[in-house]
Structure formats: C-alpha cells, structure tokens
A and B are shown apart, each in its own frame.
Chain A
Amino acid sequence: MAKKRVVSIKLNGDPVEFLCEPRQTLLEVLRDTLDMTGTKEGCSNGNCGACTVLMDGRPVTSCLVLAVEAEGAEVRTVEGVACGSHLAPVQQAFLEGAALQCGICTPGFIMQTEALLAENPSPTEEQVRFYLAGNLCRCTGYDKIVRAVMCAADKRRAAMDD
C-alpha cells in the first residue's frame, strides 16, 4: 500500500483537507471519507454519469478522477447546489416536473444540468439531450428530465432578470 497523501480542496465552498491513498478515486473519498453520499456510484468506469460532480466548474465523473488529482480544486457536489434551505431552480424543476422516479441518477443529472446552464443559459431541446447524453436514467425515458431542464433554464433566466 502506497503512503497516504494529504489533499486540500474546496468542497461546496468550504476548505477541506483529507488523507487518501493514491489509488482512491474522488468518488470514494467523497462518499467514504467525507461522508458526502449524495454523489452516487453506478458503474465505476465513467459510463453512467451518476457520480458527476463539478471540478472547477467542469462536470467530471468522479469515479474517473483520482482524489489526489483534485488537489487545489474547487469541487461542487449535489449537497452544495441548494442555497441553505432554498432549492436551486434545477432542483425545483425536477420536483415539480416529476423528473425522477427512483432518484439514483438525479444527483448526476442535477450537476450536469448546473454545468450546462452555466455554459448555455438557453439551451434547445437538442442541446439539452446532447449535453446530458452521458447521464443514464433507466426509469423515466428522459422525457420529464429534458422538460425539467428546459424549465430550470427558464426559471434561472427569470431569477437573473429579477
């Protein structure tokens, strides 16, 4: 076993330090060391998107990122999307639009949507489907997810106009 390393990141706005083995993924550390179990593991090889988090604003599948690679990064997880007890527009849109059934893929979809809307505040349906194609959902058939993302975009723009 290789020696453990100290890694410093900013997690949902707060500075965090942790010890990890070089072989541990960011996903494993988030869930098992830092107790942030909102980020889900579906496949461990980057194919399902359930573990998507934002690293310096960029969506990454945290199962493919080694924890040591996150040194100095700003990491955002599903736990950091709501502002206190106020849900973010995307969370509200998923709730109102019944865009989840079992909910295991939802954290990944929410993070990927956050990244999309930061990049492109007014995506078309085609753009939404393209950007979210790395996030698998087996329950909904995607219809209500895509609608919720479009609705979240509207909500965000309306909030910014206020």
Chain B
Amino acid sequence: MSTNGKPKYKVIGTRPIRHDGVDKVTGRAKYGADIRLSGLLHGIVLRSPHAHARIVRIDTSRAEALAGVRAVVTAADIPPQGDRMVELGEGAVNMRHLSANVLAHDKVLYKGHAVAAVAADNVHIAEEACKLIDVEYEVLEPVLDVLKAMLPDAPVLNDDVRTDVMGGSPAASDRPTNVARQIIFTKGDVQAGFAAADVVLEREFRTGTVHQGYIEPHNATAMWNANGKVTVWMSTQGIFTARQQTAELMRIPVADVKVVPMEIGGGFGGKISVYLPPVAAALSKKTGRPVKVIMDRSAVFEATGPTPASYIKIKLGVTRDGMITAGDAYLAYEAGAFPGSPIGPGCMCVFSCYDFPNARVEGYDVCVNKPRSNAYRAPGSTNAAFAIETVVDEVCQQLGIDPADFRLKNGAKEGVRRVDGPVYSRIGMLETVEAIKASEHYQSKLAGPNQGRGIASGYWFNIGLKSAVTATVGYDGSVTLIEGSTDIGGSRTSIAMQLAETLGITAEQVTPSVVDTDSVGYTDVTGGSRVTFATGIAAIEAARDIQRQLVIRAAELWEVDPSTVTYVDGGVSGPDGKRMTFEELAHKLPETGGPVIGNGTSGKATQAGAFGTHCVDVEVDPETGKVQVLRYTVAQDVGTAIHPSYVEGQLQGGAVQGIGWALNEEYWYDDKGSMRNATYLDYRIPTCYDVPMIDTILVEVPDPQHPYGVRGVGEVPICPPPAAIANAIAAAAGVRMKQLPMSPPRIMSAIWERDAAK
C-alpha cells in the first residue's frame, strides 16, 4: 500500500485464482508418475541392505533370465567420471560422488544406496527380478554420528576425501577423512568481547536427521532415442540442472538431453539433485524403449533428502543491560554419504539476526553412513537458529529482559556487517520483531497452567540467480508467458501477475506455461526463495520489451515519431491526446508487422535476504511430555507480497514443517545403520489435527533490488519454529531442551531431571 492509502498497484497484492488451479482440483494435472507412453517399461531399483559395505560381486544373470525382464543395469552401465567438479547451477558438484550416489561403484555408503536396476514389462516383474540379483557384500562398520565420524580412528567412508580448509590454516594431512570441509569466520576481537560481557552462556545442542517429506515420490521416465537424443519426463525443481546432471552423468552433450517438466508434488530442496534420470536413461538405452522409474516411500526416506543431523555449541556474551558483546559458534553437520552438507549457510546464518561486534564461527562438513544430504528449505539455517535463539532466550530470562526488546536492541539492520563478511542492505528484521511485539497474540495472557510462550527469529538468503521469460502478445489482447521455473506453490500466477502489472492488464489475460528445456532460456532451480524474485524480474523485463515494441507499432499507426509515444496505464499515449489500450493495439498487430514477442532475463547474483520472527504458545502435559501447539503467529518481512494468499501459504507451510522438526520428526537408526521408521506412520509429519491455525503478519519492507520490492519468502519460515517452541516449553515447564526433536520421552527426561535437581 502506498502512503496515501491508495493501492500502489492494480494487480500486485490481489488474490486471483491460480492459472493451474482447475487442473489441480479436478485431477487433470499431470505429475511425474502420470506420464503414459507407448511401449513403456517399468523400472525398479535394487537397494543396499547395509549401511556400509564393499561390493564384492554383482551377478544379474538370474534376474535377466526372468520372463518379462528387458534389461538390468549397474554402475558399470554409467560412464566413469574421473575427478571432475562440475558447476550445476547452485555450486560445483563432485561428479564421481554424484555418479556413485546414483548407482554405487565399489562401496555402498548407506542403507538404501542404489546398487542395480531392472526394467520389465510391469513393476511386479521388476520387483521379483530385483530379488534375483545376487550381490555379495563385505560388510564394514558404519559410522552414524557426526562427532564420532570426526574421530581419527573412525571408519572412513570415502578414500578420496581430504579436509578442504577455508578461512584458517590448512590441516596438512593426506590421510582420507570424513571431515570434508572446515569453515572459519571471524569478526572483531572475540576474547575482548567476552571479557566485556556480564553474562556469558555456553550451551550444546543436537538436532536429528529430518526429511523434506514431499508427498510425491521421486520419479523419472526416460527415452533414449535411436539418434542418441534423450528425453526425460520428471518432476524436478530445476529442469536445466536436471538436464545438465543427466548429460554429465551419462557423458553426452547437454544439447542431447531434453527435460520435460511434469507437475511437481513438493520439493523443499530435495528435488534438485538427480537420482533416477540416469538410471532410467541407462535402462532405456539398453532396451530401446521408454522406461519409468518411481521410488516407493521407504526409498524416498532411505535414499533421498535428508537434511543433516548436527552438533552445535554456542557461547554468547551479553552486558547487564542486554547488549551483545561476543559470540562463538561451533557447528558440525552430517553430510551423509558424500561431502556437501549445508554447513556453509549454517555458519553464515548462525549469528545473522544480530549485530555481533565480535564473533567467531567454526564449521565442519562430516561424512556419515546416512543418505547423501540435500537442501531442505533454508538448508542449515534451522539447526543454527534452534541453537542461537535458545541461548538468546535463556540470556533474556537470566537478565530479566523481554526477548522482543533484546532483539530490538541487538537485531540486524541496514549497514550491519555479518560475521561472514557481507553488509546488509535494507532489511526488515527489526520490523518483524516490532510486529510480533505489537501483536494481539504477544500482548494476550496465557489461558492455563503448563502453558508457555516463546519467540524466535530466523534469517535466510535469497539467491537471485538466472531466469528467462518469453511473452507473446495475442491479437485478442491476451499474453502467453513461457517460463522455465517449475511451479511448486503458485509461482505461475505470481510471475504472471508481475507481467500483468507491468503491462497494465489483468492476471487473467496472461496464460503462463512451464515448458521443457528446448523451449525456454536457461533458468535456475525453483529454490533459494528465488522464483518470484528472479523469474519475476525476467517477466517484468519481457513486459518492458513488449512495451518498447508496442510503442513503435503505435507510432507507425499514428505516423508519429516513436519518441513522442509512451506506454502508460495499460496502453500507449501519443501526441494530441492519441491513445490506444493494450487490447486495441493488440487487435492491430496483424496490420503492423505481426507478432510481438517480449524477452526478459534476470541474472542478479544476490538479494538482501529476509527475516521472520515467530510467536508460539504451547501446553506441556506434565504426565506424558506431549507438547500441544495452542497458538502460532508468524511475522515475516516479505518485501512486497505479490499474491498474499500464496505468501501466507509459504509462511504457514514453513512454520508447520518447523513444528514437525521441533516436536516429532527424526530418523531412528539402529546400531547397524538401518532406518527403523521409513514410513509416514513412524516418521510422523504433522497432520491437521496436530496444529492450530497459523496466523500471519506480512511485514512489507520492499527489497530495492526488485522493481516491485519482492523478497523471497519460501524458506525463512522454517527457521524459527524449533527455537520458538523450545523457548515456549522452557516457559511452560521450566526445562531447556537441547535436542531435536523435543519428543515426549525427551521432555519427560528433562522434567524428571528438573525435579531431581530440586
């Protein structure tokens, strides 16, 4: 809203029905598993029963002999990678590791690791054939805990991993290790900072392995054609990175692979890395027929996802009047089977909500015998937020300071330099705290015994990156918008709305389509809270390109100089009051040269990032340790909300994922490294009966880097919930929880410990 109370925009800020909505409520939308092709074969992947083992021998002959089996593949059917690092859009990836994750080479590194795959006439035959593949393993001792994996005598997963040291002196060792990376950030004089503090608090935390939990399992259907061209139909967060990964893994030219995006049933970061396309492609190459491979739910849990378990130690120094003087953080994240946990962002985010004059952050990326970890909504930040925001709350409790006031005193704002270097531009951390402080929720009284209230803040970057949009003006005044950003949460509409706003037309006049990699310019993943920002900029640029061309067409029609014509308010205006609306001019395009096609791209590397502050009321059952979330409010700096309903939806969905992480979700492993709860029944994500309505406060601090002030909103809301709930539990039950999830047994242990200490 503009200051004079008149809406600043005509389309932005309204709530049109999403363009793909009808297809999705009638069952017509086609997701990855819904593809039908003639001659289609069905693939099943054989997975390792061991968490750590050497593959001695694989004999596929009995499987190949089964009637209805068309092909069997192993790692031998995927070309060798050598020592290659390849830039895959969101950072460089070690191709040997990626390849070994797709089909295990000489070792299996987690239970569920893909070992071989079968293509058959139907899934039942393929399943039976998998049981006929004989694999001889030499079982090795697994290592399942991040700190144990760092010990010098720990079993080592990968012979080729050495510690990559950043920001410190290299630990010169040529010995293979599980510690893939060390990060150190420092700012100011940490020792002097702690010396100046009146209160210094040091606490240790543990978080469990959790999964993104998207309802649609991974899938891929591939056709390796006789001309060497490969088509992959799949649900993915990034068609271009899926194309590149598939091409690099199969060592064929990128141009020979086409990825066709199907609708995607959730991703949250877990559908960027490829698992199945190379397997389906290899099976298709062997059979000459299209092959569809779909994971079952246990494979999704055991072989994809997860976000790392972690160990975090935080030391915080604060003066009596509540000013932060120093911080020290040590973070060790589980990478899973291969290097690549989000330790980097974890280290960057841990102190990011505050102005730390002095701080040190030390982080480690550590391999363990669990699935190769992947991005999960603000990867690395939630673990860190749980730790720092809990310590902040305990300090506030000790000093008798309102936790909102503490954040207003110390919160990050424009000009503050983060510990890892960057200086904030215009951000809205303080505004989110003010919004919570002023909320009816925060001001209200708790209703009963065993109840408590907690708040916590969180931060996440927006990554920007590259997008392309093509928009064609129809002669009837419609616009077709072609984009490469797969739509997970209504982004077709948020992109179309920005194009419509720029052209001064309605959202309904725009028809957005997400198309395959042959049909649109390079576009990075749907992730990093980037699509509405970056693909939005590309759409605005495409609209401006259309404006420029329409000005020329109008000048031609009016026989005036183009410099005297301007595009304004949904139409063109020329000298002497000449005026045509967008629609009127569209009707005249055939007689002025034909189609008008606008192109737009976006390539900005970074944005300011966004903050959220959450407030939660809980009730802790002192008999069972069950925590019930009674009331929940999310305040977030959303820049400018393009489609407020879908912005609220991101905040609500992120908060509930965070609630699950806080209270229920974790992988249970036995000592052999076998996950014991690889079903939705036992890996319990929140149901609607577990949570209340999630109230949202959209704080709009426009990001100056976007023409309409958009900030990415998708990821921040998962960061604060575990800490906010831990702080509420502390208020309700007088116990400080240091481990996620805060499940009933852990709450009861803490309560008994509390009572024993009395």
A interface residues (Cβ-Cβ under 8 A, vs B) = 1, 21, 23, 31, 35-45, 47-48, 50, 77-79, 81-82, 87, 91, 94-98, 100-107, 110, 128-130, 132-147
Q: B33, A41: Cβ atoms under 8 Å?
A: yes
Contact among A97, A102, A141 for B694, CB-based, below 8 A:
A141
Q: A77, B27: Cβ atoms under 8 Å?
A: yes
Q: What are the 9 closest A-B residue pairs judged by CB atoms, nearest first?
A: A38-B27, A104-B265, A141-B656, A103-B24, A141-B652, A98-B645, A47-B680, A78-B27, A142-B688
17 contacts between A and B (CB under 8 A): A37-B27, A40-B31, A42-B680, A48-B297, A48-B680, A77-B27, A95-B25, A100-B24, A103-B25, A104-B215, A105-B215, A106-B25, A132-B689, A141-B694, A142-B652, A144-B648, A147-B693
Complex CA gap A145/B694 in Å reads 12
Residue of B whose beta carbon sits closest to that of A147: B693
Residue of B whose beta carbon sits closest to that of A98: B645
Contact among A48, A97, A103 for B263, CB-based, below 8 A:
A103
Q: A37, B214: Cβ atoms under 8 Å?
A: no
Q: B685, A136: Cβ atoms under 8 Å?
A: yes
Q: B216, A98: Cβ atoms under 8 Å?
A: no
In the bound complex, residues from chain A placing their C-beta under 8 Å from that of B265 are 40, 42, 102-105
Residue of A whose beta carbon sits closest to that of B265: A104
Contact of B474 with A by CB under 8 A: no
Contact among B26, B264, B645, B689 for A38, CB-based, below 8 A:
B26
Nearest-Cβ distance from residue B715 to partner chain A, whole angstroms: 13
- Binding-face segment, B14-22, B95-103, B145-153: B14-22
Complex CA gap A110/B654 in Å reads 22
One digit per residue, 1 when the CB lies within 8 angstroms of any chain A CB and 0 when it does not, for chain B 656-691 equals 110000000000000000000001110001111101
Q: A43-B297, A47-B680 are in contact. Are A101 and B688 (CB under 8 A)?
A: no
Complex CA gap A133/B217 in Å reads 20
In the bound complex, residues from chain A placing their C-beta under 8 Å from that of B694 are 141, 143
B633-668 interface (Cβ within 8 A of A) = 643, 645-646, 648-649, 652-657
Q: B297, A44: Cβ atoms under 8 Å?
A: yes
Contact among B17, B36, B266, B652 for A144, CB-based, below 8 A:
B652
Residue of B whose beta carbon sits closest to that of A139: B653
Q: B649, A140: Cβ atoms under 8 Å?
A: yes
In the bound complex, residues from chain A placing their C-beta under 8 Å from that of B214 are 102, 104, 138
Q: B17, A138: Cβ atoms under 8 Å?
A: no
Q: B34, A37: Cβ atoms under 8 Å?
A: yes
Q: A138, B679: Cβ atoms under 8 Å?
A: no
Nearest-Cβ distance from residue B384 to partner chain A, whole angstroms: 22
B437-483 interface (Cβ within 8 A of A) = none
Q: B489, A138: Cβ atoms under 8 Å?
A: no
Complex CA gap A98/B680 in Å reads 25
Q: A40, B216: Cβ atoms under 8 Å?
A: yes
Q: B24, A141: Cβ atoms under 8 Å?
A: no
Q: A78-B26, A103-B265 are in contact. Are A44 and B489 (CB under 8 A)?
A: no
Contact of B741 with A by CB under 8 A: no
Contact among A79, A98, A129 for B26, CB-based, below 8 A:
A79
One digit per residue, 1 when the CB lies within 8 angstroms of any chain A CB and 0 when it does not, for chain B 205-224 equals 00000001111110000000
In the bound complex, residues from chain B placing their C-beta under 8 Å from that of A138 are 212-215, 266, 268, 653, 657, 685
B276-309 interface (Cβ within 8 A of A) = 294, 296-297
Nearest-Cβ distance from residue B16 to partner chain A, whole angstroms: 10
Nearest-Cβ distance from residue A121 to partner chain B, whole angstroms: 19
Contact among B25, B296, B489 for A139, CB-based, below 8 A:
B489
Q: A94, B25: Cβ atoms under 8 Å?
A: yes
One digit per residue, 1 when the CB lies within 8 angstroms of any chain A CB and 0 when it does not, for chain B 680-714 equals 11000111110101100000000000000000000
In the bound complex, residues from chain B placing their C-beta under 8 Å from that of A43 are 297, 679-680
In the bound complex, residues from chain A placing their C-beta under 8 Å from that of B490 are 98, 101
Contact of B488 with A by CB under 8 A: yes
B316-353 interface (Cβ within 8 A of A) = none
One digit per residue, 1 when the CB lies within 8 angstroms of any chain A CB and 0 when it does not, for chain B 621-634 equals 00000000000000
Q: A45-B297, A141-B694 are in contact. Are A102 and B264 (CB under 8 A)?
A: yes
B interface residues (Cβ-Cβ under 8 A, vs A) = 15, 17-18, 20-22, 24-31, 33-34, 36, 124, 212-217, 263-268, 294, 296-297, 488-490, 643, 645-646, 648-649, 652-657, 679-681, 685-689, 691, 693-694
Complex CA gap A106/B643 in Å reads 20
B36, B267, B689 — which one has the most chain A CB atoms within 10 A of its CB? B689
Complex CA gap A97/B688 in Å reads 16
Q: B29, A146: Cβ atoms under 8 Å?
A: no
Q: A144, B645: Cβ atoms under 8 Å?
A: yes
Q: A95-B21, A105-B215 are in contact. Are A47 and B688 (CB under 8 A)?
A: no
Nearest-Cβ distance from residue B293 to partner chain A, whole angstroms: 14
Nearest-Cβ distance from residue A70 to partner chain B, whole angstroms: 18
Q: A47-B679, A104-B266 are in contact. Are A146 and B693 (CB under 8 A)?
A: yes
Residue of A whose beta carbon sits closest to that of B21: A95
Q: A39-B27, A87-B26 are in contact. Are A129 and B689 (CB under 8 A)?
A: yes
Complex CA gap A110/B26 in Å reads 9
Q: A104, B653: Cβ atoms under 8 Å?
A: no
In the bound complex, residues from chain A placing their C-beta under 8 Å from that of B688 are 128-129, 132-133, 135, 137, 142, 145-146
Nearest-Cβ distance from residue B740 to partner chain A, whole angstroms: 18
Complex CA gap A36/B473 in Å reads 35
In the bound complex, residues from chain B placing their C-beta under 8 Å from that of A134 are 687
Q: A95, B27: Cβ atoms under 8 Å?
A: no
- Using A101-B490, A104-B216, A135-B688 as known contacts, list a sample of 4 further A-B pairs with CB atoms less than 8 Å apart, ordered by residue number in A: A47-B680, A97-B645, A107-B27, A139-B488
Complex CA gap A134/B687 in Å reads 7
Q: B681, A140: Cβ atoms under 8 Å?
A: no
Complex CA gap A81/B680 in Å reads 27
Residue of A whose beta carbon sits closest to that of B695: A143
Q: A143, B25: Cβ atoms under 8 Å?
A: no
Q: B646, A101: Cβ atoms under 8 Å?
A: yes
Complex CA gap A137/B694 in Å reads 15
Complex CA gap A139/B17 in Å reads 18
In the bound complex, residues from chain B placing their C-beta under 8 Å from that of A146 are 688, 693
In the bound complex, residues from chain A placing their C-beta under 8 Å from that of B488 are 101-102, 139
In the bound complex, residues from chain B placing their C-beta under 8 Å from that of A107 are 27
Q: A139, B266: Cβ atoms under 8 Å?
A: yes
Nearest-Cβ distance from residue B45 to partner chain A, whole angstroms: 15
Q: A102, B216: Cβ atoms under 8 Å?
A: yes
Complex CA gap A106/B489 in Å reads 13
In the bound complex, residues from chain B placing their C-beta under 8 Å from that of A45 are 297, 679-681
Residue of B whose beta carbon sits closest to that of A144: B649
Nearest-Cβ distance from residue A49 to partner chain B, whole angstroms: 9
In the bound complex, residues from chain A placing their C-beta under 8 Å from that of B656 are 140-142
Nearest-Cβ distance from residue B748 to partner chain A, whole angstroms: 24
Residue of B whose beta carbon sits closest to that of A132: B688
Complex CA gap A81/B27 in Å reads 10
In the bound complex, residues from chain A placing their C-beta under 8 Å from that of B22 are 87, 95
In the bound complex, residues from chain B placing their C-beta under 8 Å from that of A106 are 24-25
In the bound complex, residues from chain A placing their C-beta under 8 Å from that of B681 are 45, 47
Complex CA gap A102/B688 in Å reads 17
In the bound complex, residues from chain A placing their C-beta under 8 Å from that of B27 are 36-39, 77-79, 107
Complex CA gap A41/B25 in Å reads 16
Q: A94-B25, A136-B215, A144-B645 are in contact. Are A35 and B653 (CB under 8 A)?
A: no
Q: A139, B649: Cβ atoms under 8 Å?
A: yes
Nearest-Cβ distance from residue B310 to partner chain A, whole angstroms: 22
Q: A100, B215: Cβ atoms under 8 Å?
A: no
B17, B33, B265 — which one has the most chain A CB atoms within 10 A of its CB? B265
In the bound complex, residues from chain A placing their C-beta under 8 Å from that of B679 are 43, 45, 47
